[in-house]
Chains A and B, each alone.
Chain A
């Protein structure tokens, strides 16, 4: 019967309310700081100015795909002009292009104008997203089809810096969910509660879920409050699919809580080490997921590296849902976070069982 244990763990957590407050206030502070700091960066991308790009086709690359891409680019305030294959550097200089793309059979190469980094990145991001979408069939582009239908062209609608950082910081701090558990961990340790759990026959999974449930619930509640506050205080737009966004947010925080608890178990329930390790890993998660620098314009980070981190999927899904109401990353965000929550829980429980055997 871990119902009462969960209830009392809730009480212990609420009695050190500062931890929970941190989860609500910190993202708001960061939204205010980062959204103004990066306002100019995202402004360049928000479509007021026309971006000029050139392209060439190599081999027997499908014209349908290129045409579809060009029309999508136009709707996103990018003008694409075809040039015969030539030296990218010269071409970019002579025609004052932000970027130059060479389409091959299965690949494409983007050359960026180093004087116009943001615009070039925007082109690269647009082309990358286009190919993702085309691959998923969501655009309705079929290589052999005679008619090309573009069902959805506005998928890289510019995102306001406030919206971007509003969404991304709430997610980032949701990843710090484990701070809500710190009070719980410290109480259990200080008052030597574990041995009482063992003599009462409580299983490792009982011990684990009695912590996961309140930590995740408090962190989810904190994240929802901070998301609502971001909307009220900064007019952050979360899009018109609040239920879907809520599900993604909830899963992300649950994964984060399970991850933190796993680290806590793996590091012998040492609270300080847990917090440090979790924060370091979460920082990388945020770094590669676009929590500090927008993922669209981040230099030197490949798409594969981005995709390695769960927060990238969550961020992209939520940011794209906020602008266009849909995202190719919805599925991967849901699956990645759910799998992470399940996997971390399993590892946490097993490591607890091993420790009980070895340490006693």
Chain B
């Protein structure tokens, strides 16, 4: 499989604090890559550096074989970023939100109309298209947040903890949709601190702690790092063994 995204020695320092530490990862075209790590591991910071929201202290990002910094404008069109913190206008209706954010990628007219409806339908909000986003439940807002990032049909989708704090139905729905997007051809990066989610949808997993990747592989491979028979251990136990049991209060 071809590499679609690669980071080299990606580092972010805030003052003396190293939040992301010499991170080099490789995402292959067509996979669902899981970035698993406790709160404060540096997952969001890594994603934000990949998208250009946060400038790296050091290191670089290569996307579709091109240097991200130098080809920003062009490469961003192939990227869909679903931020951990919701970024939708509460005082705009659902369809207006999707229209606004999709139009920023240069889509207009009838094509834009179609993209808006398709995106809303995709996240199951077509019948609520005329409602203000602020009236939505947590799960619906999360889904709208996703709809706002997929209308331009990007090749790479980055989901930053899209299931935090929502009901199980919405959560299942979102996971199904991510799988579906992947089957339709999109490469997915999925960050989470929920083991079972990552195990359920990701083809490859990296465990991140304290700004570093401490292990990468399929869930089988990761389990084998800790015990010889993967049937005898859960990913959660692998995770706790590798990252330690200290409480993370961030």
Contact = CB atoms under 8 A, between A and B. Distances in A.
Interface of A: 1, 3-5, 8, 11-12, 15-16, 187, 190-193, 195-202, 357, 360
Contacts of A8: 89, 92, 96, 99-100
Contact of A199 (B52, B92, B96, B99): B52
A193 to B, nearest CB: 6
B88 A191 contact: yes
Given A8-B96, A199-B51, A199-B81, A1 B103 contact: yes
B15 interface: no
Nearest to A12: B91
29 contacts: A1-B108, A3-B103, A4-B99, A4-B108, A4-B112, A5-B100, A5-B104, A8-B96, A8-B99, A11-B96, A12-B89, A12-B91, A191-B90, A192-B85, A192-B86, A193-B87, A195-B48, A195-B53, A196-B83, A196-B148, A197-B104, A198-B52, A198-B53, A199-B51, A199-B53, A199-B81, A201-B104, A202-B104, A360-B55
B111 to A, nearest CB: 11
B105 interface: yes
Given A3-B108, A360-B54, A200 B91 contact: no
Contacts of A11: 92, 96
A197 B112 CA distance: 17
Contacts of A187: 89-91
A7 B235 CA distance: 48
B100 A201 contact: no
Contacts of B17: none
B198 interface: no
Contacts of B108: 1, 3-4
Interface in B63-98: 72-73, 76-77, 79, 81, 83, 85-92, 96
A196 B96 contact: no
Which of B55, B77, B83, B87 has most chain A Cβ within 10 Å? B87
Interface of B: 48, 51-55, 72-73, 76-77, 79, 81, 83, 85-92, 96, 99-101, 103-108, 112, 148
B208 to A, nearest CB: 21
Contacts of A190: 90
Contacts of B87: 191-193, 195-196
A8 B90 CA distance: 12
A4 B152 CA distance: 15
Which of B76, B88, B103, B107 has most chain A Cβ within 10 Å? B103
B43 to A, nearest CB: 16
Contacts of B107: 1
A4 B103 contact: yes
A234 to B, nearest CB: 35
A201 B72 contact: yes
A196 B86 contact: no
Contacts of A201: 72-73, 76-77, 104-105
Contacts of B52: 198-199, 360
A201 B100 CA distance: 13
A196 B82 CA distance: 9
Contacts of B105: 200-201
Contacts of B101: 196, 200
Contacts of A202: 104
A184 to B, nearest CB: 10
A160 B85 CA distance: 58
Contacts of A193: 87, 89
Which A-B residue pairs are the 8 nearest by beta carbons? A4-B103, A200-B104, A201-B76, A360-B55, A8-B100, A192-B87, A199-B81, A196-B87
A15 B134 CA distance: 13
B93 to A, nearest CB: 9
Contact of A15 (B53, B91, B106): B91
Contacts of B83: 192, 195-196
Contacts of A198: 51-53
A171 B105 CA distance: 38
A63 to B, nearest CB: 70
Given A4-B99, A12-B91, 18 more contacts: A1-B104, A1-B108, A3-B108, A4-B104, A4-B108, A5-B100, A8-B99, A12-B92, A190-B90, A191-B89, A192-B87, A195-B48, A198-B51, A199-B52, A199-B76, A200-B76, A201-B76, A201-B105
Nearest to B75: A201
A12 B96 CA distance: 10
